[in-house]
Chains A and B, each alone.
Chain A
Amino acid sequence: MELQQKNPLRDFAPQLERTSIQGYVWIVFLLAVIGLGFYAFLQQVFLGHEVTGMRDNVVWGVYIVNFIFFMGVSYAGALISGTLHLFKTAWRKPIIRMAEFITIIALLIGPCFILLCIGRLDKLHYLVLFGRIQSPITWDVIAITTDIFGCFIFLYLSLLRDLATLRDYELLQLPNWRKKLYKVLALGYTGTPEQQQRLNRATDIMAAMVISIAIIVYSVLAWIFSVTLQPGWHSTIFGPYFVIAAVYSGSAVLIVCMWVFRKVYHLEEYITKKHFVAVGLIMLVLAAFFGYFTFSDYLTKWYGSEKNDELLIQLLFKEFYWPFIISNYIGVLLPLLVVGIAKFRTISNITITSVVVIIALWLNRYIIVVPTLESPYLPIQDARPEWLNYSATWVEWSLTAAGVAIFCLLFTIASKFITIVPLSGSQGEEKKEDVLV
């Protein structure tokens, strides 16, 4: 009954029913990029990891950077959607599903990048067969698996009401198999008070779980670096630093997604400037935290510097000058200025800032991973340039592009399957929202 009263589905039906020519071109383009990535992957499998830019000193490169980046984006989605849900934030409704999709899609792509880094994919099952709990990689395997399950359940719970709506909306022009699919997936949800109550309770529990799991998982990821003795990595601040950086990058990705879907599906009515400013302010707070953690980390390394920290900082300011400036200065200050000063707060300004933040955060991971590996305790003494300095090859860049393309493709497919803006909220919440608004 609640479902029939307000039916914004009419607005969204075309999104689900048809794909425009541009839509098909976009999908073909993404498939082409993914195809190139697949070719690069085959090269790596058959010719060995020599086709990458990684060598004995810099054993982890762009792949690990992408891994951290995508996992960060994912945890951010989880943290943002979970927090907004728990606090019953009034304006969250049009954007919360995007955050949930970001979580699950990035979470599926991230681990693929760590697999690309592994020398013997044929022995991957050893991680389970012979797993050692003492190793942070095992912690990561357990944590990421838990996270994937948790986020799937959270996403599914939040989709249930809409799946029921889609099942019940008879005017929807869709092939039968899709209607049947909605019916199966809706699990017989009809919106009785008991069902509502149970669903709300389950979603609340999962939101709380997802928040804590996300914090644990990203800390574990940071510990992979900080448990080693390498200068620049061996830092106690890395756990919270990575968590903050993750949520920060995720808030930026969310803003970009909002902008894209608003344009493509004409959601101007649903996603307004209010939403951009609200998420922008979240991003602003995170930018301040991120800047604080970054400053704190580098200040202590620089002020009472050990020899190797000093060498690392020299390297950062010489060979990694621009990445360092973009990630740790521009990436921090730009959101503070653009979102902080009211008259700069336009939708396009906030979106452009978000794009810069995404790039800055990717570079931030790059200058965490690569310079440390280029400045080990024992100086690298080698005559071969590729063994001295890391630079990613076309194979690594193609696979990176493929990762981004898969992210876009899955997002496109997801938005064809279910509306990108949730159709229904629970009634209990609506009342609270009224009070808040």
Chain B
Amino acid sequence: MEEELNKDQKNSRRQFLKKGLIAGAGVAIGSGLLAAYVDTNAAETGEKVKVLTTDGEIMEVDRGLLKLPRVSREESHKGIPGRKFVMVIDLGKCKNARKCVEACQKGHHLPQSQEFMKVYLLQDSEKTAPYWFPKPCFHCDNPLCVSVCPVGATYKRSDGIVLIDNERCIGCKFCMTGCPYSTRVFAWKHYPEFDEDKEPYSPEASSPGKEGTVSKCDFCPDLIRVGKIPYCASACPMGVIYFGDVDEDTVTNGTETYQFSKLIHDRAGYRYLETLGTRPCVYYLPPVDRQFEVDRGFGDLEESVKDRYKDTPYSKKNKP
């Protein structure tokens, strides 16, 4: 059944990407920043993709040559023109496969102790159902982290993304206490993983990391610029994570594409801890019609990861 869905959705997905990227532009086309996007040493594949530059231009580049852009710190403040990003997470499909976490860690050159994406085992109350809860940064429209930052190191962009500039961050950690969702992580020392990344630092890539500064999920604007969806969304084998644009009213997980407003309406989408007034840009679809038992989430986990969940009410209850 899943495969059928995939076939059906493939066309609409292509269209989304095409439409999305072009709609995002609307700016004069000129000679672009081609160098930032193309790796001249790589082999061509013959498949062309459209790329949105920092100037809002669209250009065609061979997919094989594509390199993730590292825009400057100044550029990273602006946001991609005409866009407003949104994420939808379908809790009914998550089985804690943790591919989102792995892909994110790898993509951002993060050590094991720094997870931008975390998967919680939640149970709202004793009698309610337990469920797996992947949690990125919510990129709130009323972000307390941004309000409390004393030096403007974390900022909200026109496209809705909240980023951190670790060149500016003084490491006071006020944003970490400000965020009610425990989203932010701190570099308690210089981790060797930071050295894997040889590219120049860009807040859009959140890499390379820096000791004594705060970082977090960034919605992967560097991937968005080359027409891709974030690492977590493309890595998820269940297609739990949808990414898209509110203004275009479209979200995709790479295989299926939906009209955002209809999806939220039909599936009773909600935002986590709405009462706090932070106005997140991440929506959840309730864990109904589940494809997997919760226990499947314990499947092939490493012991250290499995141990994380041993004190949850669900695990305690099911202890033999």
CB within 8 Å of B: which residues of A?
A: 47-50, 54-57, 59-60, 117-120, 123-124, 126-127, 129-132, 134-138, 141, 224-225, 227-230, 233, 373, 376-383
Q: How far is the CA of A255 from the CA of B135 in the complex (A)?
A: 52
B112 CB, nearest partner CB in chain A, Å? 10
Q: How far is the CA of A54 from the CA of B312 in the complex (A)?
A: 23
A376 proximity list for chain B (CB < 8 A): 180, 182
In contact, B308 and A382 (Cβ under 8 angstroms)? yes
Q: Of the candidates B172, B184, B278, B311, which one forms a contact with A118 in the assembled complex, judged by CB atoms under 8 Å apart? A: B172
Q: Of the candidates B150, B152, B190, which one forms a contact with A48 in the assembled complex, judged by CB atoms under 8 Å apart? A: B190
B108 CB, nearest partner CB in chain A, Å? 16
In contact, A123 and B312 (Cβ under 8 angstroms)? no
Q: List 13 A-B contacts (CB under 8 A).
A: A48-B212, A49-B212, A56-B176, A119-B213, A120-B169, A120-B171, A127-B170, A135-B147, A135-B148, A135-B174, A137-B172, A379-B312, A382-B308
B149 proximity list for chain A (CB < 8 A): 132, 135
A49 proximity list for chain B (CB < 8 A): 186, 188-189, 212
- For the complex of A and B, the 6 pairs showing the least CB-CB separation, nearest first, are A119-B171, A119-B212, A48-B189, A383-B307, A137-B150, A135-B150
Q: How far is the CA of A233 from the CA of B118 in the complex (A)?
A: 25
In contact, A229 and B276 (Cβ under 8 angstroms)? yes
Q: How far is the CA of A225 from the CA of B178 in the complex (A)?
A: 9
A238 CB, nearest partner CB in chain B, Å? 14
In contact, A132 and B152 (Cβ under 8 angstroms)? yes
In contact, B170 and A381 (Cβ under 8 angstroms)? no
In contact, B151 and A126 (Cβ under 8 angstroms)? yes
Chain B interface extent, by class: 35 or more
In contact, A131 and B151 (Cβ under 8 angstroms)? yes
B185 proximity list for chain A (CB < 8 A): 56
Q: How far is the CA of A137 from the CA of B171 in the complex (A)?
A: 12
The yes or no answer to B177 lying at the interface (CB within 8 A) is yes
* Contact (A120, B148) CB under 8 Å given A379-B312, A382-B308: no
In contact, B173 and A59 (Cβ under 8 angstroms)? yes
* Contact (A48, B135) CB under 8 Å given A120-B170, A126-B168, A228-B177: no
Interface residues of B in 167-208 (CB under 8 A from A): 168-174, 176-178, 180-182, 184-190
A373 proximity list for chain B (CB < 8 A): 177
Q: Of the candidates B144, B182, B187, which one forms a contact with A378 in the assembled complex, judged by CB atoms under 8 Å apart? A: B182
Q: How far is the CA of A59 from the CA of B278 in the complex (A)?
A: 21
A274 CB, nearest partner CB in chain B, Å? 45
Q: How far is the CA of A229 from the CA of B143 in the complex (A)?
A: 11
Q: How far is the CA of A118 from the CA of B149 in the complex (A)?
A: 13
Q: Of the candidates A127, A380, A383, which one forms a contact with B150 in the assembled complex, judged by CB atoms under 8 Å apart? A: A127
How would residues 88 to 129 of chain B score, 1 for a CB under 8 Å from any chain A CB and 0 otherwise? Answer: 000000000000000000000000000000101110000000
* Contact (A130, B312) CB under 8 Å given A59-B173, A59-B176, A383-B304: no
The yes or no answer to B298 lying at the interface (CB within 8 A) is no
Q: How far is the CA of A60 from the CA of B172 in the complex (A)?
A: 9
In contact, A230 and B180 (Cβ under 8 angstroms)? yes
Q: How far is the CA of A380 from the CA of B212 in the complex (A)?
A: 22
Closest to A56 in B: B185
In contact, B174 and A137 (Cβ under 8 angstroms)? yes
Q: How far is the CA of A384 from the CA of B187 in the complex (A)?
A: 16
**Majority DSSP secondary structure for residues of A touching B:** loop
B312 proximity list for chain A (CB < 8 A): 379, 381
Sample of 8 further A-B pairs with CB below 8 A, known A119-B214, A229-B276, A378-B181: A48-B189, A56-B182, A120-B169, A141-B150, A376-B182, A378-B135, A383-B305, A383-B310
In contact, B189 and A224 (Cβ under 8 angstroms)? no
A419 CB, nearest partner CB in chain B, Å? 41
Q: How far is the CA of A380 from the CA of B182 in the complex (A)?
A: 9
In contact, A132 and B151 (Cβ under 8 angstroms)? yes
In contact, B152 and A119 (Cβ under 8 angstroms)? no
The yes or no answer to B273 lying at the interface (CB within 8 A) is yes
In contact, B188 and A137 (Cβ under 8 angstroms)? no
* Contact (A134, B144) CB under 8 Å given A118-B171, A119-B172: no
How would residues 120 to 164 of chain B score, 1 for a CB under 8 Å from any chain A CB and 0 otherwise? Answer: 111000000000000100000000100111111000000000000
A134 proximity list for chain B (CB < 8 A): 147
Closest to A141 in B: B150
In contact, A377 and B182 (Cβ under 8 angstroms)? yes
B23 CB, nearest partner CB in chain A, Å? 33
In contact, A381 and B144 (Cβ under 8 angstroms)? no
In contact, A50 and B189 (Cβ under 8 angstroms)? yes
The yes or no answer to B211 lying at the interface (CB within 8 A) is yes
A372 CB, nearest partner CB in chain B, Å? 9
The yes or no answer to B309 lying at the interface (CB within 8 A) is yes
Interface residues of B in 31-70 (CB under 8 A from A): none
A379 proximity list for chain B (CB < 8 A): 120, 122, 312
A47 CB, nearest partner CB in chain B, Å? 7
A123 proximity list for chain B (CB < 8 A): 151, 168-171
B53 CB, nearest partner CB in chain A, Å? 28
Q: Of the candidates A54, A55, A126, which one forms a contact with B170 in the assembled complex, judged by CB atoms under 8 Å apart? A: A126
A387 CB, nearest partner CB in chain B, Å? 8
* Contact (A230, B177) CB under 8 Å given A59-B186, A127-B151, A378-B182: yes
In contact, A131 and B177 (Cβ under 8 angstroms)? no
Q: How far is the CA of A4 from the CA of B273 in the complex (A)?
A: 72
Q: How far is the CA of A81 from the CA of B263 in the complex (A)?
A: 65
In contact, A228 and B304 (Cβ under 8 angstroms)? no
Interface residues of B in 287-320 (CB under 8 A from A): 304-305, 307-312
B135 proximity list for chain A (CB < 8 A): 378
Q: How far is the CA of A381 from the CA of B152 in the complex (A)?
A: 30
B148 proximity list for chain A (CB < 8 A): 135-137, 227-228
In contact, A59 and B177 (Cβ under 8 angstroms)? yes
Closest to B303 in A: A383
Closest to A124 in B: B170
Q: How far is the CA of A54 from the CA of B176 in the complex (A)?
A: 12
Closest to B184 in A: A56
In contact, A119 and B211 (Cβ under 8 angstroms)? yes
B118 proximity list for chain A (CB < 8 A): 381
Q: Of the candidates B151, B273, B307, which one forms a contact with A130 in the assembled complex, judged by CB atoms under 8 Å apart? A: B151
